[in-house]
Amino acid sequence: MARFSCIFALCCLLTASASNIRIKSLSAARSFPANFGFGASTASYQIEGAWDVDGKGISIWDYLVRTDPNHIADNSNGDIAANSYYNYKRDIEMLKELGATHYRFSISWPRILPLGRSNYVNQRGIDHYNAFIDELIANDIVPFATMYHWDLPQTLSELGGWTNEEIVDWFGDYARILYQNFGDRVKHWLTINEPYIHCNFGYGYGRHAPLIQSPGEGYYECGRHILLANARAYRIYNEDFRNTQNGQVGIVLSSDWAYPASDSADDIQAAEDYLAFHLRLYMDPIFSAQGNYPQTVIDRVQAASTAQGLTASRLRPFTQEQIEYIRGTSDFLALNTYSSKIVYRNSSLTGTFVVPSHNDDAFLDTYMDDSWPASESPWLREHAPGFYNLLVYIKDTYNNPTVYITENGFSSTPGLHDDGRVNYYRNYLSALLDALAEGCDVRGYFAWSLMDNFEWAMGYTQRFGLYQVDMEDPQRTRTPRKSALVYKEIISSRVIDYDYNPDPYDTDGAFTVSASIIMTLGVAVINMVL
């Protein structure tokens, strides 16, 4: 821990002053390897629409937007979203326009199993994803399929969802069906997306579906069962599918980088604890040599539980058998990361929560430097040096695991000139080049997101898309932003050219008009003539 603390002491000197400085290379090699994968990411509920067609069941988000529509910032929903259930061929055209080699998408659990359980499989859902995956393969795009991106079948939520340990079996059955139907073509499986965010907002503070408020108990139970469910899906693949399908299975974890607010011992420890409660809570059980939760988290939650008069820790321990069952159950780390935090600790932070909370257990608070460029999301400011720090930390802490960056992006308002996003991608990809030069085993990068989508409780008030989606157009027309043109150039050249300044309104510099758009225009002209 001494080396770790020294790193944090150094990092506290690199916050505000470094925020707007372009990353400097640690190596003369400033190009991405030829075999480095570039792609984009989406999630089923956020883009698919078609919420009740072809036998799909109701998800927890379908249920939320009907029972509590005011919970969404603009009272919107994902009933249609980007309409990708019907527009998926256009989405794949967009990937080809970018030159992307990979696509991370998610499969809707209730579209495959409308009642949540494996006793009834919806063949129309299977057929849809078969057609979609076939189209990706036909266009030489590698599918990265996420099994679960937060759209739990409502029937399972009514049985307790991720707070019910039976979900480990339910998820295992679901994973087996996915392997059986798609594993001959899908060679990269992502089991569960962002347990910290899903458990924190869904089962901790009730900001996301299923709106459960239990930050000191439900939050931990959710995470515990996600770790066990990931292990179940991984073990099933190992035992029954790996030898014939030759794929890989990994989990999607998320974290920001944490800087101490000062060089005080309290703040340095707080920054360490931030990573322990956000990243290591899920990484240590899978990627560490010993397995299990970080000892600092175990001790802190036990002490807080005892002080609250409880007879057992709110962080229910794993048995030794479960520790061994979970350890090693990810062939790679899928990492979602967006920003950085400055972390502090003082006496005002203790005992402030009436309800037991994992935030209270961690005994810290965070803020961001005002000089870091702001996005449309209050939680997201650009600070690329933190991205580099996080990747190096993961390399040093977990024996340099294989990593795919499966989400990284910047929110904006509608419009094609998105220079904030352009700067973000350039700086973060430059930081990634520095991490590669440092020896980090990062194999691919997926921009979030391919197109504008339903941003959960924020609805359509924040736009993350490389492509703008006209949400007022029944066809949900997609148009490339400036960032799409810049990303295309980076993918093509494998270098970052800060001087490249395309105009998204310049048709000579934009993408070639796709076949589907030509067809649409042709039909319109014919109708006008007739």
Angle at 213 between CA 210 and CA 215, to 5 degrees: 120
Q: Which of 93, 382, 407, 455 is an active site residue? A: 407
Q: What is the DSSP letter of 42?
A: -
- The contacts of residue 235 (CB under 8 Å, 6+ apart) are 325, 329
Asked whether the bond before 449 is cis by omega within 30 degrees of 0, the reply is yes
Could you confirm whether 438 is annotated as catalytic? no
Residue 118 tokens, joined: 């494996």
Active site residue 194: yes
Rg over CA atoms, the chain: 23
Phi, psi of 522 (to 5 degrees): -65, -45
Residue 485: phi and psi, rounded to 5, are -65, -40
Which pair of structure tokens corresponds to residue 272?
């360490």
Q: How far apart, in whole angstroms, are the C-alpha atoms of residue 125 and residue 117?
A: 14
Q: Which residue has the tokens 């883009």?
A: 47
Query: Sheet of 340-344: strands edge to edge?
Result: 257-260, 340-344, 365-367
What contacts 394, CB < 8 A, 6 or more positions away?
Answer: 283, 333, 335, 401, 403, 440
Q: Quick check: 51 and 110 in contact, CB under 8 A?
A: no
Residue 40 to residues 35, 143, 183, 186, 484: CA-CA distances in angstroms? 16, 11, 21, 16, 11
Burial class (CB in 10 A: 0-12, 13-18, 19+), 153: buried
Distances in Å between the Cα of 349 and the Cα atoms of 216, 353, 360, 430, 431 are 16, 9, 7, 37, 33
Phi and psi dihedrals of 41, rounded to 5?
-125, 150
Among candidate residues 1, 42, 17, 36, the one with its CA nearest the CA of residue 432: 36
Query: How far apart (Å, rounded) are the C-alpha atoms in residues 198 and 253?
Result: 11
Cα 330 to its chain centre, rounded Å, is: 16
Q: Which of 194, 217, 221, 272 is catalytic?
A: 194
CA distance 391 to 394: 5
| 389/59 Cα distance (integer angstroms) | 37
Catalytic site positions: 194, 407
